[in-house]
Amino acid sequence: MTIFAAFVIVPLGLLFLVPGLIINLIQLMLFIFVRPVSRSLYRRINTTVAELLWLELIWLVDWWAGIKINFYADAETLELLGKEHALVLCNHRGDIDWLIGWVMAQRSGCLGSTLTLMRNEAKYLPIIGWCMWFSEYIFLAKNWAKDENILKAALYNLKDFPTTFWLCLYVEGTRFTQQNLDAAKAYASLKGLPSPRNVLIPRTKDAQLENYFTNDVFSDLDVHHVGRPIKPLILQAISVVLNGEDHIFVCLSPGCCNFNNATSDPIHIKGLVNSYQKTSTRISSRQGLQVAFHF
């Protein structure tokens, strides 16, 4: 079994590492020779180059794992996705929820221009971290004295981004765990807020992002709150591989999806799917249509 696994893992690893280093080298050349001349041209080219690397990970979901993802959304949401900038607010419950998000970004036509706020250490990761740095991901030190100026500069620079982009923000500020949930409940009780069950309470510094967004970058319709059932994504992925199907719920406005009181009970999940199908469009993961996501 170990030998068989090596025959699978080693080729897949080389398939990612070698092209990844080549892509990083191309990005370095673009950064040195193209960006000083035209930042807009650099961004357009780099968006395509970065997407080549991210598509390798999308391939793992689509073809290697054979995961089928069903997106449920209303017509208005489908019409807007991929056509304008979006601030995507996500919660962080599993190890691969970001990868599911990338699948959706790819379907929406903005995978190469999908950005997010990351820990500063991530930019030192070979291949992936370097690609993110060249793609202008926002890296934070988790120190507001430093991060405030970093955010101001980064968000200001996005005003002239030449292509449609998604800026993904994990407003909870950390991974969903029982310990963090208990802390969130204690804070909610102290502040007189509703007690959370499946989400954490966003950190106040994250909420200050709205101070830096102007209407020429994000309109009200551009802000997408993201929601999904509470089963951790890593368990969903295992279930998906066995069952061959997963369900993602899509909402345009904050009030149309409320997963704070959802449960992971299969009957409850099936009920959500059935109720959503009455007013939404069901899309196969390989139709290549524009879709969005709400955690």
Note down pLDDT in tens along the chain; length 295 residues: 567 666 666 777 777 889 999 999 999 999 999 999 999 999 999 999 999 999 998 888 877 777 776 666 677 777 777 888 887 777 676 677 788 788 888 988 999 999 998 889 999 999 999 999 999 999 998 888 888 889 888 988 988 899 999 888 776 666 677 788 888 888 888 878 788 777 777 655 544 555 555 445 444 433 333 333 333 333 333 333 333 455 555 555 444 444 444 433 333 334 444 443 433 333 333 232 223 333 3
3-class DSSP state of 218:
coil
Distance spanning both ends of the chain, measured CA to CA? 37
* Domain locations along the chain: 66-283
Nearest Cα to 176, choosing from 228, 232, 120, 251?
A: 232
pLDDT of residue 284: 31
3-class DSSP state of 145:
helix
Beta-carbon contacts of 204 under 8 Å, excluding residues fewer than 6 positions away, are none
Q: Where are the alpha helices (DSSP H) in the chain?
A: 2-33, 39-59, 75-80, 97-107, 128-134, 144-157, 178-191, 204-207, 233-243, 266-277
DSSP readout, 61-121?
A: IIIIS---EEEEE-HHHHHHTTTS-EEEEE---SSSHHHHHHHHHHHTT-STTEEEEEEGG
Distance CA 280, CA 290 (A): 14
Distance CA 58, CA 51 (A): 10
Beta-carbon contacts of 196 under 8 Å, excluding residues fewer than 6 positions away, are 181, 184, 185, 188, 260
Distance CA 114, CA 140 (A): 17
